[in-house]
Structure 1
C-alpha cells in the first residue's frame, strides 16, 4: 500500500468526495470520546467547507460541536458508487452549528437535491398528509459547517469478508457480547480515536475476537494510534441509501505486545429500524425528542416549508 498523502485543500479531492453516498462524521462527546455517525454531506461550491445537517430529534452532534468544535469525516464506504478504486479520505478540522432551525431549503438547495437523488425513499416522508404529520421533525434541521484543517487520503485495504462473532451466550448482555453478535453483518468497522487538543481520527479496521478476553483485536492501519478512550461504528446501506443497519460502542483502546485491542463498555443506540414495529418506536421517540428540544428553548413547533422541499427535490 502506498503511503497516505496529506493536504489542506479540498479542491483536488472534491470530485472524489462527491462520489461517496455517505461518510462517517465524528464529534467529541462530553467525556472526551470521539463518536461517529453515518451522514450525507455536501462540499460547498467554493470547495472550502463541508456542510451537513442533523434533525433536532437527534441533536447530539450539534451539542457536541457547540461544546467542542473538533471534528472528523471519513469517506470510506464506496457502496452505491459503482467503483472500487476510490481512496479513503479523512478530513479533520473544526465545525460550527448555529442555533437557527432550518425548515426550508434556502441555502441548502444542493444538499437536499443530492439527498433526494441518492436516497429517493426519503422523499416519501412528505408525500402524504400522514407522512408530513409523522415526519415533520425530519425537516427541522440544524446546519453543521466543517472547515477542514488537514485532509489525508490513502488506498483502501481489501476486506476478505464478514467479521466473525465471538462464541457468547444469547443471554449475555455485556458490551462485548452485544457488539460481537453484530460483527458477522459487517466487513469492517470505523474506529474513532482522539488526542488532547487535536481533531478526532477515524480509520477503517477489522475486529477479531481476542481469545480468553472480552476484547477485540484491531487489524488495519494502526500508525499513530494512542491508547485511551475510543469508539467503534458498524454501518452499512444499499445502493439507494436504504436498508441501513448500524451498531456501535464506546470503550477503551490499548496495546499489548505490539497488538492493539478494543474493549467495549457501552453500546450506542441505533437510529435505523430493523422492522416495522421498530420503525414506529423510533418515530415516536423522534417526535418526543423534537418536542423536548423546542420546549426547553421556549420555541413553538415550526412550520415546514413543504412547497420548497417539493420543488427543490428534482431528483
Structure 2
C-alpha cells in the first residue's frame, strides 16, 4: 500500500476532495452497542477548507448519531458517484472519529435547510414553502462531523489494485460530542420485515452492495463489492483484495438513486460473514427496516405523510430530552 505524507489535517489528498464536495451519497458505517456494524447511504457535506466531512440524521430518528456518540469510530465510503457530475472517480474510504452536534437544534436545522437547498434543490422544487415548514419531523436535524484519521483511495475505482493511503498526523483527534440527551430514547419508529427474503430479491435489482465488517482494530470497514450472488441463506459477494478475509458480524447494504436525486431505494441486511470460494458468504439473520424514498412526486408525498404521522409525536419528545424548543423550518435569507 502506497502512503502519502500529510503535514496537516487540512491537506487531504486532492484526488478525494471533489467527491467530498459533490457526491450525492456515501455509505456511513457505525457500530451498535454490541459492536455490530450498520451501514446506510447518507448525503455528505463538505465545505472547502473544513477539517470534517459531515452527515446528518433526523432529530426524530437519532439512532445513527447515538451510535456515534457511544462509539465515535465511524467510516465513510464514497463508492457511487451517481449524480455528482464527476467521471473516472476514485473509490474513497475514510476512517475517522465522529462528533455529534445537537446542542443547538435550531442552528442544526437552519444549516440543514441551507445545505440541502444548495446541494439538492430538486428535493423541494415545486413544494409550497408552507408545506416544507410543516415537515419539521424531517428537517429537524442532528449533525455528525467526521474527522478523518485515515483515507484510502483506489484511483479510477480499481478495487482489485492496492489503494493509496493518507494518514493524519499523530496528534489529530476529534472534539467531544455534545452531551447525551436525558431520558430514554424512543423505540424504533419503523418495524423491520418479518422475513428478509422478499427484500433480498428486490435488493438484487439495486446493483452491487456494500459489505461492512470490522477490521483487525475493531473499526467499521465498508467495502464496495465487485459482484453479488443470491444464495439460500443470504448472499455471496465478491470483494477487492482488502475484503477477501472479511469475517464476523456484517451488514450488507444495497442502494440506488437516479442521476438527479429525487428519491432513493435502500435495502440492508445484517448477519455473519465468512470467507468462501468466490468471495465472502454473508448468512443473513434479518433485514433492517426499509427507509426507501420513492421517486414519483405523488408516491413521495404519500410516503412523507405516512412517515410524518409516525414521527411528528417524537419531535417534541426528542427536543425536550435536550431541553430545547422544537426547531422551526426557516427559509434561508
TM-score over 0.5 for the alignment?
A: yes
Structure 2 residue 308 is the aligned partner of structure 1 residue 310: no
Deviation for aligned residue 1:71: 0.3
Change (3 A) 1:98 1:197: farther
1:89 corresponds to which of 64, 87, 92 = 92
Q: State the aligned residue count.
A: 287
Query: TM-score, normalising length from structure 2?
Result: 0.76
Structure 1: how far apart are the matches of 2:126 and 2:66? 26
Of 218-227 and 18-27, deviating more is: 218-227
> What does the per-residue CA deviation read over 1:122-164, in whole Å, with 9 as the maximum and x for residues that have no partner?
335984334312x112232212111111101113259xxxxxx
Change (3 A) 1:284 1:7: farther
Deviation for aligned residue 1:98: 3.2
Change (3 A) 1:260 1:6: farther
Contact 2:315–2:326 (CA<8 Å) still a contact in 1? no
Structure 1: how far apart are the matches of 2:255 and 2:2? 24
Structure 1: how far apart are the matches of 2:4 and 2:78? 14
Structure 1: how far apart are the matches of 2:110 and 2:249? 37
Contact 1:96–1:144 (CA<8 Å) still a contact in 2? yes
Change (3 A) 1:98 1:278: closer
Structure 1: how far apart are the matches of 2:96 and 2:293? 31
2:248 corresponds to which of 221, 224, 228 = 228
2:202 corresponds to which of 178, 182, 185 = 182
Deviation for aligned residue 1:121: 3.4
Structure 1's unaligned 5+ residue stretches are 159-171
Specify the SS of the correspondent of 1:183.
helix
Specify the SS of the correspondent of 1:310.
coil
Mapping of 1:55-70 within 5 angstroms? 55-70=58-73
Structure 2 residue 110 is the aligned partner of structure 1 residue 115: no
Structure 1: how far apart are the matches of 2:77 and 2:4? 14
Change (3 A) 1:198 1:82: same
Deviation for aligned residue 1:249: 1.0
Change (3 A) 1:98 1:200: same
2:289 corresponds to which of 269, 277, 291 = 269
Structure 2: how far apart are the matches of 1:69 and 1:269? 23
Structure 2: how far apart are the matches of 1:104 and 1:112? 10
2:81 corresponds to which of 63, 72, 78 = 78
